[in-house]
Amino acid sequence: MTLVSTPTATAPARESARTAKRRRGRRRPRVLIAITTLFFALLYLPIAVVALFSFNSQKSLTVFDGFSLRWYRAFAHDDVLIASLGTSLRISLVAMAGSVLLGVALALGLVRCRTRLGSLAGLIMLVPLITPEIVTGVASMLLFKGLGIPLSTFTVMLAEITFSISYVTVVLRSRVAALNPEVEEAAMDLGATRWQAVRLVTLPALLPAALASAVLIFALVFDDFVLAYFTTGVDPQPLSVRIYSAIRFGVQPTINAVGTLMLAGSIALIALALFIPRLFGRRGGLDLLSGE
Amino acid sequence: MALLRNSSRTRRRDTSGNRIWVWFMLPGTLWMAGFLVASLLLVAVLAVGTTDELGNPRFGFDLSAVRALADPAYTEVLARSLGYALLTCLICLLIAYPVAYTIALYGGRYKHALIAAIVVPFFANYLVRMYGWSVVLSDDGPLLRALRAIGLADGGTKILNSSFGVIAGLVYGFVVFMIIPLYAALERLDVSLIEAGRDLYGGPVRTFFFVTLPATRQGAAAGLVLVFLPAMGDFVSAQLMGGPDQIMIGNLIQDKFFQGQNWPLGSALTMLLMLVLLIGMLGYLRRTRKDEAEALR
Amino acid sequence: MDATPAVRLDGVSKQYADSYAVHHLDLDIESGHFFSLLGPSGCGKTTTLRMIGGFSDPTEGSVLLAGEDVTDLPPNKRNVNTVFQSYALFDHLGVADNVGFGLKRKGVPKTEIRKRVGEMLDLVQLGAFADRKPRTLSGGQRQRVALARALVNRPAVLLLDEPLAALDLKLRRQMQVELKQIQREVGVTFVFVTHDQDEALTMSDRIAVMHAGRVEQCGTPEDIYEHPSTGFVASFMGTSNLMTGTYRDGKVSLEKGPDLPVGTRTGISDGTAVSVSVRPEKVWLSDFEPGMAKLSGVIRETVYSGPTTTYLIELAPGVTLSVLEQNTARARMEDRWSGGETVEFAWRPEHCLVLA
């Protein structure tokens, strides 16, 4: 009874709470939330469809007949696709190692070396970021043909490294710039040579960002098909190129299974990359993807 | 003050002894110069080259490929590509703005998770996503079936094999590039600015146009460029979502290199594409320069 | 006392484009001293320190450590260590590994490293934190790690670049005392850069006051405070009442005011325009001694600040003196003067310095 005994006191309080709420403009924006929900639904729908029909017991892409793993089994027994998977993994590993190695060094050099050569290199590095992949693809293909290098897995690796260096450099560059230069000086003060200072102090400080971008590069290269499409030979083509051909010339449902596996793999890797900086006690890295 | 600023700026420089850093920079720079710059130059050179009887490219100076670009068949494709890319930019802006706005301002402690939920799948396999999207948009796909069920479409409504389908594909492919910079701009935006706007201008609509929109203009401009660049060069969307009447410049380039085997013409088309993109980039840079100059004033 | 100075700067300059950060500096720092480079930001004190440490090459002159010319040696070849302003700890290493970094570089055996690191951490009272990561420590603790990391190498000279600047006032006072104690204990020459004159006065054996790339005055804290040789030093070290007038017959006459009694100063001829300085706490307001020439002025402002009261007294039009009085003088509040009253005051002539 005591709870409802003072209506005169609660009414003004409620009133003021309501005006405060109105003043702060915190009413739930129903239209905005509806649009956002619809956006998320459409964003995930294609992914869900591919995943769902990869488990379809029938060949249909429109009617789900029942759960089955037959397309995954088909993939596992498809020697050509498995060989392509191997090619893709090899390309991704090499591109990851090469671009992280070159990119980290380039980022260090670009931040620390303020010469004309440095600013020129900084400009060149931005080119792939503003060039559509089809242009880089065409250009790489022409270069290899011009140099007389037959197109193969090897040429895909070279092209992917070229494209990925920019990415690693952009991400690492901001990390290098954020480093305290006194730390390197401290190492030299304590008896380290310049190179030892870089190796013992600077590189460990860049490790989280380097690891994260390595994982990300692996995923991006594994998924990439435009560059691979233009620079691959006929030796087991990368998986993404196979998928491209399959999608263009009539779909076998096996592709749904491969696609689902690839999506799951790259989503896991990208999420891992975002999570890596946290493992080192730093704030997480959405900026890895936006390059800011 | 001048002395102080000067000394603290140059101070870093003198222990770093530039030489070692040049060695760090050199391999990557040489690699980029060798593979990237050289290859782009090669495209330009080949655009004025010729082919022999077997269709193999020959170097030389022959403007026939460049002249061929004036052919109405190609100018039509270029115009269509431009139209598609620009429409894609506009639609992406219209979609991305409310989504980014909602997450940045109302996402609360879930906003990072929400934005990650958008970004992560977008960076996952482009091809598989586009393929899934084409299934969704197909005549028997879930979208048209749902629309038919609620009476918004009839049996004759098609999305695939139309301009609408291609643009839908481009939007789906690249809308994330609009969301990221817009979200960054909106998150940086001080909420008290919006509240002050409410006091000054009253209604939320006026506040939006006078306060929020101008404050996020740079994010939107960056997003437009980031969407325009890949949309202009895309050939997958037109292939999966369009028909023969919807081909874009990317499809032409692909065709000249793989089916038509006319490399000089393919190179000339590639250069044309780069030219269009360069004009777009310059426009963007001039715009942001002007914005910065105004901000400084 | 060792005859060879621990550090000698011989005509050292650092020139950037068209300006000098340090201009033709000659400086001897005696072994075992706590030596402070004091000055406002941009005066060249940090640049000087960095040239001693080897992080910056002088454009002219030479740097000598214990008599040996090290001008062209890199930092890792000099027997000096630095405590950086940002501490510059290695975040990926634990506290013990941070401290042991220098010894490991030198190839000291592991067991000895462990022993010396342990001793050093005990000295800076961080024995319990050996396994922690620097990131998890407080500002004061990080500062101690930086100190230990430098001192464990037993350098001939320890360079400290405003090491206390990032700490809050209370911790700063505490660290000043600790730092001085540690310095006495290890007997290493400290070269300490600071912009805080209190810090320099309380800790140093000698102070060099720097201004615009030059040393204005170098001496003991008492020297610098009691006998500033330039107007800059007088005003930078604590508060000073600076006045200008004309020197005549051992007095300085203000343009529109009385003659001021000043200390004896040779080499100045009558009629020279000079500036004089008198510290607020050297002005007497009562119990004058014989030999003091009394002056009078009007109280313009009374500022009470606990143990002391500051009066602003107008001596002549446009000439206002700040006068500090211990609050023992007038025990009761109502005895203090208030604005508008005319008062008498005086100082010992030797406390009013004629500056060059």
CA angle A134/A137/A142 to nearest 5° reads 125
CA-to-CA separations, C111 to B110, B250, C119, C125, C145, in angstroms, rounded: 51, 67, 12, 21, 20
Of the pLDDT bands very low, low, confident and very high (cuts 50, 70, 90), residue C237 is confident
Residue A288 has pLDDT above 90, yes or no: no
> Could you tell me which of B257, B278, B266 has the C-alpha nearest to residue B68?
B266
B259 C-beta neighbours (distance < 10 Å), count? 8
Residue B18 has pLDDT above 90, yes or no: no
Q: What is the DSSP string of C221-249?
A: HHHHHHS-SSHHHHHHSS--EEEEEEEET
Chain A contact for B174, CB < 8 A? no
Residue B151 has pLDDT above 70, yes or no: yes
CATH number 3.30.30.60 is the correct assignment for the domain at C7-231: no
Neighbours of chain C (3+ CB pairs under 8 A): A, B
Nearest CA in chain C to A184: C88
CA atoms of B74 and B57, how far apart (whole Å): 21
Amino acid B159: pLDDT: 87
- The burial class, CB within 10 Å (0-12 / 13-18 / 19+), for A212 is buried
Tell me if B93 sits within 8 A of B296, measured CB to CB.
no
Amino acid A257: pLDDT: 92
Chain A contact for B88, CB < 8 A? no
Of A36, A108, A185, the CB nearest to B21: A108
Count of residues in chain B: 297
Q: Residue C15: CB partners within 8 Å, gap ≥ 6?
A: C21, C59, C60
CATH of C239-355, picked from 3.40.640.10, 3.20.20.410, 2.40.50.100, 2.30.40.10, is: 2.40.50.100
Amino acid A13: pLDDT: 46
Amino acid A29: pLDDT: 80
Indicate the helix (H) or strand (E) that contains C261.
strand C259-261
What integer is the mean pLDDT of C222-244? 88
Chain C contact for B3, CB < 8 A? yes
> Where is average pLDDT lowest: A9-13, C7-11, C234-238?
A9-13
Interior/surface letters B219-257, b for 16+ CB within 10 angstroms, e for the rest: bbbbbbbbbbbbbbbbbbbbbbbbeeebbbbbbbbbbbb
CA atoms of C48 and C58, how far apart (whole Å): 9
Query: Tokens representing B83?
Result: 């139209």
Residue C222 has pLDDT above 80, yes or no: yes
Q: What would the pLDDT profile of A38-92 be if each residue is shown by its tens digit?
A: 999 999 999 999 999 899 888 877 778 889 899 999 999 999 899 999 999 999 9
B97 or C338, higher pLDDT: B97
Query: Tokens representing C316?
Result: 């002549």
All CATH 3.40.50.300 domain ranges of chain C, comma separated, are 7-231
What integer is the mean pLDDT of C165-186? 89
Chain B contacts in chain C segment 164-203 (CB below 8 A): none
Amino acid C82: pLDDT: 94
CA atoms of A145 and A152, how far apart (whole Å): 11
Side chain identity at residue B125, one-letter code: N
Nearest CA in chain C to A280: C92
Domain covering A77-290 in this structure, CATH number: 1.10.3720.10
Query: Tokens representing B57?
Result: 């490219």
Rounded to the nearest angstrom, the gap between the alpha carbon of residue B93 and the centroid of all alpha carbons in its chain is 12
Of B127, B141, B230, the CB nearest to A62: B141
CA-to-CA separations, A54 to A46, A62, A171, C208, in angstroms, rounded: 12, 12, 36, 79
CA atoms of A209 and A283, how far apart (whole Å): 11
Chain C contact for B18, CB < 8 A? no
What integer is the mean pLDDT of B50-57? 68
Chain A contacts in chain B segment 214-243 (CB below 8 A): 229-230, 232-236, 239-240
Residue B261 has pLDDT above 60, yes or no: yes
C5 HSE (CA, 13 A, CB side): 16
Residue C338 has pLDDT above 70, yes or no: yes
CB contact under 8 A, C41 and B4: yes
CA atoms of A143 and A145, how far apart (whole Å): 5
> Could you tell me which of C319, A248, C298, C8 has the C-alpha nearest to residue B240?
A248
Nearest CA in chain C to B11: C56
CB contact under 8 A, C105 and A196: yes
Residue C14 has pLDDT above 60, yes or no: yes
All CATH 2.40.50.100 domain ranges of chain C, comma separated, are 239-355
What integer is the mean pLDDT of A150-154? 93
What integer is the mean pLDDT of A283-290? 52
Query: Tokens representing C354?
Result: 């004629």
Residue A16 has pLDDT above 50, yes or no: no
CB contact under 8 A, C213 and B1: no
Residue A7 has pLDDT above 50, yes or no: no
Amino acid C63: pLDDT: 94
Of A191, A201, A281, the CB nearest to C90: A201
What integer is the mean pLDDT of C304-315? 88
CB contact under 8 A, B135 and A138: no
Tell me if C223 sits within 8 A of C53, measured CB to CB.
no
Q: Convert A34-103 into a string of H (helix), E (strand) and C (coil).
A: HHHHHHHHHHHHHHHHHHHHHCECCCCCCCCCCECCHHHHHHHHCHHHHHHHHHHHHHHHHHHHHHHHHH
CA angle A26/A31/A32 to nearest 5° reads 65
Residue B16 has pLDDT above 50, yes or no: no
Residue A167 has pLDDT above 80, yes or no: yes
Residue B56 has pLDDT above 70, yes or no: no
User: Taking the domains of chain A in order of start, what are their residue ranges?
Assistant: 28-68, 77-290
Complex ipTM: 0.84
Chain C contact for B20, CB < 8 A? no
Tell me whether strands B50-51 and C60-65 are parallel, antiparallel or unpaired.
unpaired
Query: Tokens representing A192?
Result: 């380290």
CA atoms of C194 and C163, how far apart (whole Å): 8
Amino acid B6: pLDDT: 37
Amino acid B62: pLDDT: 81
Q: State what percent of residues in chain A have pLDDT above 90.
A: 51
Chain A contact for C305, CB < 8 A? no
Q: What would the pLDDT profile of B221-249 be if each residue is shown by its tens digit?
A: 999 999 999 999 999 999 999 988 999 99
Instruction: Match 């620390």 to its residue by tokens.
Output: A112
Of the pLDDT bands very low, low, confident and very high (cuts 50, 70, 90), residue B183 is very high
Query: Tokens representing B260?
Result: 């038509």
> Where is average pLDDT lowest: A44-48, A274-278, B109-113?
A274-278
Q: Residue B173: CB partners within 8 Å, gap ≥ 6?
A: B126, B129, B130, B230, B231, B234, B236, B237
Of B1, B6, B15, the CB nearest to C56: B15
Amino acid A22: pLDDT: 45
Q: Is C2 left (phi over 0), alpha (psi -120 to 50) or beta?
A: beta
Q: State what percent of residues in chain C have pLDDT above 70.
A: 97
Of the pLDDT bands very low, low, confident and very high (cuts 50, 70, 90), residue B12 is very low
Residue C112 has pLDDT above 60, yes or no: yes
CATH class of the domain at B79-296: mainly alpha
Chain B contact for A117, CB < 8 A? yes
CA atoms of C278 and C346, how far apart (whole Å): 11
| Contacts of range C132-138, beta carbons closer than 8 Å, 24 or more positions apart | C132/C94, C132/C95, C133/C91, C133/C93, C133/C94, C133/C95, C134/C87, C134/C89, C134/C90, C134/C91, C134/C93, C134/C95, C134/C98, C135/A281, C135/C91, C137/C95
Tell me if B269 sits within 8 A of A139, measured CB to CB.
no
Distance from the C168 Cα atom to the nearest Cα atom in chain A, whole angstroms = 22
Query: Tokens representing A269?
Result: 């890797």
Of the pLDDT bands very low, low, confident and very high (cuts 50, 70, 90), residue A18 is very low
What integer is the mean pLDDT of C12-33? 90
Q: What would the pLDDT profile of B67-95 be if each residue is shown by its tens digit?
A: 888 889 899 999 999 999 999 999 999 99
Of the pLDDT bands very low, low, confident and very high (cuts 50, 70, 90), residue B54 is low
DSSP-derived letter for residue B141 is S
Of the pLDDT bands very low, low, confident and very high (cuts 50, 70, 90), residue B2 is very low
Chain B contact for C274, CB < 8 A? no
Of C76, C81, C90, the CB nearest to A183: C90
> Where is average pLDDT lowest: A86-90, B99-103, C238-242?
C238-242
Query: Tokens representing A14?
Result: 């409620």
Tell me if C203 sits within 8 A of C196, measured CB to CB.
no
Tell me if A153 sits within 8 A of A273, measured CB to CB.
no
Tell me if A172 sits within 8 A of A288, measured CB to CB.
no
Nearest CA in chain C to A204: C92
Residue B155 has pLDDT above 90, yes or no: no
CA atoms of C23 and C47, how far apart (whole Å): 11
> Could you tell me which of B237, B234, B229, B279 has the C-alpha nearest to residue B253?
B234
Tell me if C130 sits within 8 A of C118, measured CB to CB.
yes
CA atoms of C109 and A245, how far apart (whole Å): 63
CA atoms of A149 and C285, how far apart (whole Å): 96
A282 or B138, higher pLDDT: B138
**Average pLDDT for chain B:** 84
> Where is average pLDDT lowest: A81-85, B20-24, B49-53, C286-290?
B49-53
Chain C contact for B1, CB < 8 A? yes
Its sign, for the CA torsion C196, C202, C203, C204, is positive
| Chain C residues with CB-CB distance to A186 below 8 A | 82, 84, 88-90, 149
Residue A14 has pLDDT above 50, yes or no: no
